[in-house]
Amino acid sequence: MVFSSQLFLYGFLPVFFALYFLIHDRRKNWLILTASLIFYAVGAGSTVIVLLASIWLNQFLAVRIAPASQPWRVRLLALGIALNLLGLGYYKYVSFLWRLLGDGFAAFALPPLPAAPEIPLPVGISFFTFQAISYLIDVYRREIPPASGYGEFAVYHSLFPQLVAGPIVRFSEIRLEMDDRKVDRMALSEGGYRFCLGLGKKMVVADNLGVVVDAIFALPPNELSWEHAWVGILCYSLQIYFDFSGYSDMAIGLGRVLGFHFPENFDQPYRSATITEFWRRWHMTLSRWFRDYLYIPLGGNRHGTLRTFANLWIVFFLCGLWHGAGLTFIVWGLYHGTLLVAERYAHRRWRPAGVAALGATFILVSIGWVFFRAPTLAVAWDYLAAMFLLGLPISDYRPLAAYLQHDTLAYLALGVFFAFTPLEQFYKLRFDRPAMLAAQIGLASLCLVYSMLLLAANSFNPFIYFRF
């Protein structure tokens, strides 16, 4: 089940909130847990058992890590991290590694391997695995106590607004709200507005630009001109931003209506002047996770230049691998690691600024998105070759007007405006004032109604990050 489906919007959501605001506060967490498991099971089927196993395993270990002596704390933490990564590795990477091994056999003219095993991927396993590891590490560091029981941890670990595609919420960020949440008019207003805004980002901008992206990326190399390639990657850069940030807005909004304060996940990343700044603004909860639980423990930037560069490459290699079991994702991660290394080296002598820096950063990020979107490295290289006038001669040229209709140009302009226009002052406005509240309700209603019209006219597209 996804947020932009008719089943969720017209079935699950109204029934859940009708029950939530009718029952006693003491039963609200149990309703959230039941609804979250139903929400997950509808989309994940039998793999819901993986989520249930994760709940039991991590709470079982956390309550034993907290009181244990230091040697046993280390052993239990290592066991917990290993088991979580083992589950993630089995479901997400076994088939990928098997295919790589098969390709190696073929390269050396060895007998072919049997077909790679088809292992169903539990929805959102990358997200809830990282969430579980952060919980165990924070308990080990004594930054938080374990959850009060399996029920409380189960609510946190399966909380449906952020379960399958983030933000990656740490237990410390909502621990005090597990049993004491205040939902007032302001919370309902902010939450509803944020949810509708996110739905509009997804349905109005991301899905409509996705039609252009799919058509251009499907062109064979002899039909892909440089202008098609640049338009396609511009549209994809906006599509993935509005798709993922739209989901995050919807999750944060739903959490706010329930009384939770989830961390922000995006801060207009395409307004970054450097790649370092981009990663402080893009998927912020994942960036902080890698910083706090991998980069800093590896030594961060405390052990010299070469060690810092190595740590960056390790982190972004694993960041790429976390996103997907494919060579394209690994190359995408290493590409960003290399950009960060080059940037750190260059900034000793020169630090760019202004509009030129924003434009250069956006272009570099967009080039990386080619690897993220392409199904194979071969397709990615062909696409990049077309972007830089190194592709095959064009044998069947289709004008850009065939892809950029008037309505598509309007969606593209809307995406460019909201991606690049400074909105800091807008965020500082107080929505408890009547005029601003009316504007908020008007914009939210417009997003909601238009999104529902689009949903009725077209089949919904799942969020891009659902496959991770």
- What positions carry a catalytic annotation? 323
Task: Find out whether 80 and 65 touch, Cβ atoms under 8 Å.
Answer: yes
Q: Is 198 helix (H, G, I), strand (E, B) or coil?
A: helix
For the chain, helix, strand, coil in percent to 5 are: 75, 0, 25
Task: Find out whether 133 and 81 touch, Cβ atoms under 8 Å.
Answer: yes
- Among candidate residues 238, 230, 247, the one with its CA nearest the CA of residue 268: 238
- Position 36: which residue type? S
DSSP 119-151: ----TTHHHHHHHHHHHHHHHHTTSSPPPSSHH
Cα dihedral 404→405→406→408 (10° resolution): -60
Task: Find out whether 431 and 266 touch, Cβ atoms under 8 Å.
Answer: no
Task: Find out whether 53 and 94 touch, Cβ atoms under 8 Å.
Answer: no
- Position 10: which residue type? Y
Largest interatomic CA distance in the chain? 74
Instruction: In whole angstroms, give the CA distance from residue 78 to residue 136.
Output: 10
Cα dihedral 302→308→313→319 (10° resolution): 30
Contacts for 422-426: CB closer than 8 Å, 24+ residues apart: 422/268, 422/271, 423/268
